[in-house]
Structure 1
């Protein structure tokens, strides 16, 4: 594997760098603040710098992990050092392949969308290369992003749906966990226990779906005994528009995602 550069090691960039470091990738990291670089300074396979240009010069794969509002500024800074053999990787929402190619014409570009569980190496990442990326480079990029979760190549037309669902979903899951914990506390459970028990229940439920490949409805039916406590709760959720609220939330996020690149 060639050298990987990451510009910006905040929450997402730092999570990616940590995962790649554990997997012994050869890295160079830059950040405007030295503080975010300190935890990476003692690793043999990592070089740190405050120079984005240095990262662009020395890397084969360059991941830009800064806030979307300064994307164009950083791209302009490193543009002349992104030679045609290097691969530029975007992780920001709101940029299409076309908009990135307008800033970086005739360059190898990959649009990606990881979500925040990258911080615990459980991300799901969508990957969309432009026409200049070859098969070996696609394999390398899938391997890079698979080091902190699951990564899959996805056609650009599906990115708004991916962003609005998988990109935003962690927030909705945390809201669910918080609300479920409030209900447990209302019924006498300690707050710390409620968070732990409910989070583990969410984790286990997701793992069951992934590992059994059963339909979610079938797994739900396994829990809902006739006349039991679960079906009573399911009825209450349906009475309060649970499914409709989730569909509306994701649909709103998808629409926002589609409009961000305009």
Structure 2
């Protein structure tokens, strides 16, 4: 409980109790950033309420009650209903509260207009939050305080790593880390299929592929070395690795990944405009 002792206590509420809200709430409770009794949600479905109740979260009856009984409110509903939800809750928000949005593509200016709130922070996490390995990026609104930023940072550190960036980068963040897990799943599947094609049993091939990707990512994070340097360290002259890399280059592997990020970024920009 050292993390809890190091921070002032506050109450955290979720508007929307889906998978991302569950991942954040579980991470916050597990690391002791807040006790579960300081977290509150509501949901119309009994099974979702029971999930949160199972680790001590307080269940309320309405979204308005969640807002009223929270210091920080995380808006984790689908982007297409953000406006409707915020207009319904506008009268319950106040300047003493902080609104945090994890809805993809919804800009700070729109959040402020629909909610009437000025202390706003926008965060873009990704789905590995479910296993405590999220890559999140935060943009702090003009009226949010340093304490607001510290509190929100502590929440998202509980599910992975968080960076701060200008909002102008958020479409590219979505294209890279928001959509990126899907690209890696495709790569893991392809590596495993390659193992099967080379004669490995399917379960062994998939296990080796997923662990290899996990280990390679950990090497980049933990050593601080450039990926190119790490690649060179396992690429012997006329060896097996360079033969494989040559095939990747023939297939425009790097260019294809780059194009995937750019395409996803452009699509995010289109969705943001509509």
TM tier, shorter chain?
A: over 0.9
State the Cα distance separating 1:40 from its structure 2 match.
2.1
- Whether 1:36 and 2:44 are equivalent positions in the alignment is no
- Whether 1:187 and 2:195 are equivalent positions in the alignment is no
SS in structure 1 at match of 2:213 = helix
- Whether 1:210 and 2:221 are equivalent positions in the alignment is yes
- Whether 1:95 and 2:106 are equivalent positions in the alignment is yes
- Whether 1:116 and 2:124 are equivalent positions in the alignment is no
State the Cα distance separating 1:9 from its structure 2 match.
2.0
Q: Which residue of 1 aligns with 2:248?
A: 237
Taking the aligned partners of 1:39 and 1:10, their CA distance within structure 2 comes to 10
Moved more, 61-70 or 167-176: 61-70
The 5 A counterparts of 1:1-262 are: 1-24=9-32, 25=34, 26-44=38-56, 46-262=57-273
Does the 8 Å CA contact 1:8/1:14 hold for their aligned counterparts?
A: no
State the Cα distance separating 1:48 from its structure 2 match.
1.3
Q: Which residue of 1 aligns with 2:4?
A: none
Taking the aligned partners of 1:206 and 1:142, their CA distance within structure 2 comes to 23
State the Cα distance separating 1:106 from its structure 2 match.
4.3
SS in structure 2 at match of 1:139 = helix
State the Cα distance separating 1:50 from its structure 2 match.
4.2
Count of residue pairs brought into register by the alignment: 261
TM-score in terms of structure 1 length: 0.96
Moved more, 13-22 or 197-206: 13-22
Task: Return 5+ residue gaps in structure 1 as ranges.
Answer: none
Taking the aligned partners of 1:261 and 1:40, their CA distance within structure 2 comes to 31
Cα distance change of structure 1 residues 247 and 61 upon mapping to structure 2, 3 Å threshold: same
- Which aligned runs of 4 or more in structure 1 are off by greater than 4 angstroms? none
Does the 8 Å CA contact 1:33/1:50 hold for their aligned counterparts?
A: no
State the Cα distance separating 1:42 from its structure 2 match.
4.0
Does the 8 Å CA contact 1:164/1:257 hold for their aligned counterparts?
A: yes
Taking the aligned partners of 1:236 and 1:50, their CA distance within structure 2 comes to 58
Taking the aligned partners of 1:42 and 1:261, their CA distance within structure 2 comes to 36
Task: Return 5+ residue gaps in structure 2 as ranges.
Answer: 1-8
Root-mean-square deviation (CA, aligned residues, Å) is 1.3
Taking the aligned partners of 1:76 and 1:31, their CA distance within structure 2 comes to 19
State the Cα distance separating 1:199 from its structure 2 match.
0.8
Q: Which residue of 1 aligns with 2:6?
A: none
SS in structure 2 at match of 1:128 = strand
TM-score in terms of structure 2 length: 0.92
